[in-house]
Structure 1
Amino acid sequence: MSESKSGQWQWENAAAGAIAGFATVAAMHPLDVVRTRFQVNDGRVFNLPTYKNTAHAILTIARLEGLRGLYAGFFPAVLGSTLSWGLYFFFYGRAKQRYSKNGEEKLSPGLHLASAAEAGALVCLCTNPVWLVKTRLQLQTPLHQTRPYSGLYDALRTIMTEEGWTALYKGIVPSLFLQVSHGAIQFTTYEELRKAIVDYKFKRSKQNPDNGDNTLNSVDYAILGGSSKVAAILLTYPFQVIRARLQQRPSSDGIPRYMDSWHVVKETFRFEGFRGFYKGITPNLLKNAPASSITFIVFENVLNFLRMARKDN
């Protein structure tokens, strides 16, 4: 594959990933707000609202805070998701291209894993400040005692003023573990399942040419995206809880609730047990399994459209 074609293919991946990320957030954001609030509620802070379950949380937020509450942190979520998916697919495509000898050779599961891990680490370093702001905006409630942030810019400015620029990278350690492991598991699972479905369809088309469409469709992409996401969530979810608890706004005296990742692990296990590391997993699964299906449907179809447009030109 020539260098110019390789670069064009990588940018097509980035564009398709960015569009897919935006579509995902727009559809599923209220569940993301609920997930974040469940994650940080350790039962020991009484100015935080408590919810019985996911449905009760959505109804309570809608009643007390309205649509604004359900879409708290929406702009940084859109920005972060669009950047993350765009950069992820770009870095992932470049890594696969580099690991492949001639640009066309199929990669082994180990090289898919390495490509996804590399992409996850780079994306995490680029986007952590955006996710920190999103978490803080989502945690603002009518019970919040500290002056609320008015939006993304105000949050960034206030955090820099009150806590310094290093605060923008709170939670970076669990974020790195999360991005690397989650993305690696999801994309490796996706690629291996994709190959299995393609092989199955190819064999079926050879056995029955009249009923043998061996191309993948949107249903296939939905199944691949959803199932690979569920596998990644179940194995990496504790990192999300640790990150969310680290990224909370400090109390009015400037003292953070948790000092570092190990402090979160010790305190969570001490007061909540193993179940504490999976708080909010129900809205997380409800949000991310279908969201990942949407992402990969949009990504694959946009990518196919861009490739067809390039061929026509």
Structure 2
Amino acid sequence: MTADWQWENAVAGSVAGLATVTFSHPLDVVRTRFQVYDGRNPNLPNYKNTPHALFTIARSEGLRGLYAGFLPAVLGSSISWGLYFYFYNSAKQRYMKNQDESSARIHLASAAEAGGLVCLLTNPVWVVKTRLQLQNPQHHGRPYSGLSDAFKTILKDEGWRALYKGLSPGLFLVAHGAIQFTAYEELRKIIVDFRHKHNSLSDNSSDLLTTGDYAALGASSKLAAILATYPFQVIRSRVQQRPSTYGVPRYIDSRHAMEKTARLEGIRGFYRGITANLLKNLPAASITFIVYENVLNLLKRTRKD
């Protein structure tokens, strides 16, 4: 794969990420607030369920509340997806030169490599997004006024290390992308092979797959990844919370968060907000891969012309 093809993947990935965030952000706000709620923080409201959370936030905070942290989410998602698809396809082509490797192993290694690089580059953006999403009328202290103010305040009050809180569970979450992309690629290959055997009119895999196929593949691969890795998302959100007005963090580090969650909340604590997460991510994954595959196909056709 040439550099031009890799950048086409990056552009398609960025457009897909932007479409995904715009559609699903209110559910992302709800998920984040559920994830960090442990029943012991007076600064966090208690919601009964996802519909109640959406209604309460809309009523008490308006559209601003439902789209809290939208700018860093857009930047982070667009940059992350663009870099992810670029690094993933670049790594996949490199690994494919070794004919001894199986396709599943190639996809897994490529996704893991891409996820690790993206995590290191974008963690500060996710810290800011999480903190902006957790701001609510019950919040004490001076709130961040926006993306720029959040970055400046964090650097001033806590130092640059604070921007890398949650990096450890974030690196473990590399497995999320690895599982998702491996499942997507393998399921896609099965469908293409099946269609190819029953359709001799085209050798192009993109001609054998429909928008419905991309939607189903995106959702099913995402479901597998969520069920396997969701506890790491909860721990990352908890660690990335803003310290109290006295500068004391609720959780010292990821290990402390895991131990405290397990002791006080049990297994249920590690899956808080998963309903909102599924409602957000399954359709979002479908949209992401529909947009990605169609934009990529368009760029390929434009390049040929």
Where on the TM-score scale, by shorter chain, does this alignment land: which range? over 0.9
- The percent of aligned pairs where both chains have the same amino acid is 69
Task: Specify which of 188, 196, 204 is matched with residue 198 of structure 2.
Answer: 204
Aligned: 1:149 with 2:144: yes
Maintained 8 Å contact 1:202/1:214: no
With 58-67 and 41-50 compared, the bigger mean Cα shift is at: 41-50
Contact conserved, 1:36 with 1:244, CA < 8 A, in 2?
Answer: yes
Which one-letter code corresponds to 2:272 in the other structure? K
Displacement of 1:138 in angstroms is 0.2
| Equivalent residue number for residue 44 of structure 2 | 48
Q: Please say if residues 176 and 225 of structure 2, whose CA atoms lie closer than 8 Å, have aligned partners that are also in contact.
A: yes
Q: Equivalents in 2 of 1:170, 1:304: separation in Å?
A: 38
- Structure 1: runs of 5+ lacking an equivalent: none
Instruction: Tell me the equivalent position of 2:225.
Output: 232
Q: Secondary structure of 1:67's partner?
A: helix
Extract structure 1 runs of 4+ deviating beyond 3 A: 104-107
CA distance in 2 between partners of 1:200 and 1:145 (Å) = 58
Name the CA distance, whole Å, in 1 between partners of 2:182 and 2:214: 15
| Structure 1 position 259, deviation (Å) | 0.6
Matched residue, 1:81: 77
**Structure 1 counterpart of 2:175:** 181
Task: Kindly provide the amino acid, as one letter, of the partner of residue 27 in structure 2.
Answer: L
Q: 1:251 offset after TM fit, Å?
A: 0.4
**Contact persistence 1:245–1:264 (CA under 8 A):** yes
Report the more deviating stretch, 81-90 or 214-223: 214-223
Counterpart in the other structure of 2:129: 134
Q: Distance in 1 between matches of 2:211 and 2:4?
A: 24
- Counterpart of 1:99 in structure 2 is 95
Equivalent residue number for residue 248 of structure 1:
241
Per the normalisation by structure 1, the TM-score is: 0.94
- Is 1:62 equivalent to 2:55 in the alignment? no
Distance 1:146 1:245 in 2: 19
Give the CA deviation at 1:282.
0.2
Whether the aligned pair in 1 keeps the contact of 2:42 and 2:138 (CA below 8 Å) is no
Q: Give the partner amino acid of 1:197.
A: I
| CA distance in structure 2 between the aligned counterparts of 1:83 and 1:232, rounded to whole angstroms | 21
Q: Is the 8 A contact 1:174 1:261 kept in 2?
A: yes
Residues 1:290 and 2:297 aligned together: no
Cα deviation 1:229-262 (Å, max 9, x = unaligned): 0100000000000000000000011110001111
> 2-side partners of 1:205 and 1:284: how far apart?
38
- Matched residue pairs, number? 302
Paired with 2:42 and 2:156, the residues of 1 have a C-alpha distance of 27
CA–CA distance in structure 1, aligned partners of residues 44 and 177 of structure 2? 31
After superposition, give the CA deviation of every residue in 1:161-190 in whole Å (9 maximum; x if it has no partner).
Answer: 000011000000000111x10000000000
The match for 1:301 among 284, 288, 294 is 294
Cα pair distance change 1:105/1:309, threshold 3 Å: farther
Inter-partner Cα distance in structure 2 for 1:183 and 1:160 = 29
